[in-house]
Chains A and B, each alone.
Chain A
Amino acid sequence: MPSVVTANRLIDGIVVYLASDGGWTEEICRARVAETEDEVKALEAEAAKDVAARKVVAVYPMDVAVSDGTVDPLSVRERIRAAHRTTLTKDWYDVPL
């Protein structure tokens, strides 16, 4: 199962993903995708350094589906996190009922 590593940024708590360039991105489409267990472990080890460096907190890997270069979280929870939005917006039903 393809995975990405996610966390919350320490300073403001915003949802971020470990990116291809080694930094953290708010956009899941720019997240680095791990295809094997070893690759996931490598991403987690990299993320752990940034926990120690006080960039992020609450790091964990999550399952995604990759097709045509887009990265989509599988669970409802992760779809909501990736959207960075909630039902505050009146017409928001990106994550449909």
Chain B
Amino acid sequence: MYRYDEFDHAFVRERVAEFKDQVERRLAGQLTEEEFRPLRLRNGLYLQLHAYMLRIAIPYGVLSPQQLRQLAMIGRRWDRGYGHFTTRQNLQFNWVKLVDIPDVLSALADVEMHCIQTSGNCVRNVTADPFAGAANDELEDPRPWCEILRQWSTLHPEFSWLPRKFKIAISGAAEDRAAIGFHDIGLKIVRGPNGENGFRVLVGGGMGRTPYVGQEIRACLPKQHLLSYIESILRVYNLHGRRDNIHKARIKILVNQLGIDKFREDVEADWEATHRDAIDLPEAERKRIMSYFAPPALPERPIRDEALDRRRTTDPVFANWLKHNVRPHRVPGYSTVVVSLKEPGRTPGDASSEAMELVADLAERFSRSEARVNYTQNLMLPHVAASDVVAVYDILAANGLATGNHDLLGDMICCPGLDYCNLANARSIPIAKEIAKRFEDPKRQELIGPLRLNMSGCINACGHHHSGNIGILGVDKKGTELYQISLGGNPKDDASIGTIIGPGFRAEAVPQAIDTIIETYLTERSDGETFLDTWRRVGAQPFKEALYGSA
């Protein structure tokens, strides 16, 4: 993984010192809240419902054991012993005190972490396929490009005050596991006509109040032009994006207002005029950054492991976990293990300090000292030998981290909602817990098959409800929490936005409504169909009838 050089260390330390001074001035009364607010947001510090919340970037979802242990320590020492992994490969602490923030930031800097640009109208933490460098369907590791974009975007003078926040995701694999279609810019590494890899560039995707799937602006951008081309996109957005209305300020609104062809024309014109003089990345620097991401030396091993096979045939719970949470690796004899943070009864995405330390130990012992976090709010061990899978499972299972539900109904995405968030209109965590309870039986989840259930407590859609095969949106209707259900969203390659199926449900009626939707799907589905396949074939009518009657 990337390691800070002297410049990086000095830069982050300077930033910590700067914010320490700003906190002190706030507490001493030299800064008002109005003056302090934009400064704290630039450092990932929010004031939420119950307390301050600190959002820490986990660049492209990669964590070392040292970093995980430090996060655990911070949680224990300055928070309440747990953190919340978000849908953008960040970690949020929910109960930190303003007076402690400088110490927390300093402790983060000790392990090469920070909160810079995890809020504010700038380029946010660049996210990636969490299987990067490990997946067997990968054309090229996207992480070096994420790191290049991170360095380029950090304190970029031209793009520090954009009309609104800006999110970029990169995938280098056949399957989209980074929801690139729902980002301001989505990049997919593809093989170009000349046999060289380039970027398929999507622009204008997003969730929130006005959801859009990103549209293609370039089919295959030569890699050496990535920075100059993204600069041109951002420049056109920075000039023409709306600043008068926060609800219309994201690039998706501009792209869809101009139309993708006109937007492309503007970007290409800017690029033609500027790219020869623009700072594209020097080859030596590209190579330097690439070298940090050299794949770990993994000697090929036998694909079959006798102990694993024996366990699979004798232990159905293990077999279920193996089927769903252990994914193939590019090197034969290895796997990537998904550590579920979705045990029924727990808050999706929450991890205790103990759990973080446990995963740090496992990463060190069994996964070449690397852990990951994915945007669906789980942890991962990217490089586990087949012969170690049983040992890893037993340790995870003893600690409630081996629920075999990856990409099944129980693997719900859930935002913090009204339990924590100042923007929320309704709670999402208790709804997720009730649904998890209702569908607790792994056999039933197995029968249902792959299903993405996403839930947000407000229209801002941090819980990605628009891209859920089943999406739940909490709203406030005259002081009562009400939940709108949408069906048919998809975060993957043929991305789509869910359709609201009808009037909303009160909280206590939501689990039954989900049950009705699932039973309708099971009745309607043909052999081999997923929920999404069935929805796309039969449409809304059977679901509407089942939920609301045929009147």
Contact = CB atoms under 8 A, between A and B. Distances in A.
Interface of A: 8, 10-15, 51, 54, 57-58, 74-77, 80-81, 84, 86-88, 90, 93, 95, 97
Main SS of chain A's interface residues? loop
B190 to A, nearest CB: 42
Given A87-B347, A88-B347, A58 B430 contact: no
B27 interface: yes
A86 B50 contact: yes
A15 B51 CA distance: 7
A10 to B, nearest CB: 7
A88 B417 CA distance: 13
Contact residues on B (Cβ < 8 Å of other chain), bracket: 35 or more
A74 to B, nearest CB: 7
A84 B26 CA distance: 25
B430 A97 contact: yes
Contacts of A87: 347, 419, 427, 429-430, 433
A55 B47 CA distance: 15
B503 interface: no
B420 interface: yes
A80 B474 CA distance: 16
Contacts of A75: 479
A93 B50 contact: no
B413 to A, nearest CB: 16
Interface of B: 26-29, 33, 47-52, 80, 82, 94, 97-99, 345, 347, 350, 418-420, 424, 426-427, 429-431, 433-434, 479-481, 507-508
A12 B507 contact: no
Contacts of A95: 427
A57 B29 CA distance: 12
Given A76-B427, A90-B345, A93-B430, A13 B47 contact: yes
Given A57-B33, A86-B419, A81 B430 contact: no
B51 A76 contact: no
Contacts of A13: 47-48, 50-52, 97-98
A14 B80 CA distance: 13
Nearest to B429: A87
Contacts of B99: 11-12
**Chain B CB within 10 Å, residue with most, of A10, A15, A90:** A10
**Chain B CB within 10 Å, residue with most, of A74, A75, A81, A88:** A88
A11 to B, nearest CB: 5
B481 A80 contact: no
Contact of A11 (B49, B98, B424, B508): B98
Nearest to A79: B418
A77 B49 contact: yes
B49 A81 contact: yes
B82 A14 contact: no
A10 B50 CA distance: 12
Given A88-B82, A97-B507, A12 B419 contact: no
B27 A80 contact: no
B508 A97 contact: yes
**Chain B CB within 10 Å, residue with most, of A51, A74, A97:** A97
A8 B47 contact: yes
Contact of A80 (B419, B479, B508): B419
A53 to B, nearest CB: 8
A86 B345 CA distance: 14
Nearest to A58: B47
A72 B532 CA distance: 45
B480 to A, nearest CB: 8
Nearest to B511: A97
A13 to B, nearest CB: 4
A86 B420 contact: yes
The 5 closest A-B pairs by CB, nearest first: A12-B97, A13-B51, A86-B419, A13-B52, A87-B429
Given A76-B418, A86-B419, A87-B419, A11 B51 contact: no
Contacts of A57: 33, 47
A10 B98 contact: yes
10 contacts: A8-B47, A12-B51, A13-B98, A57-B33, A80-B49, A80-B418, A81-B49, A86-B94, A88-B80, A88-B82
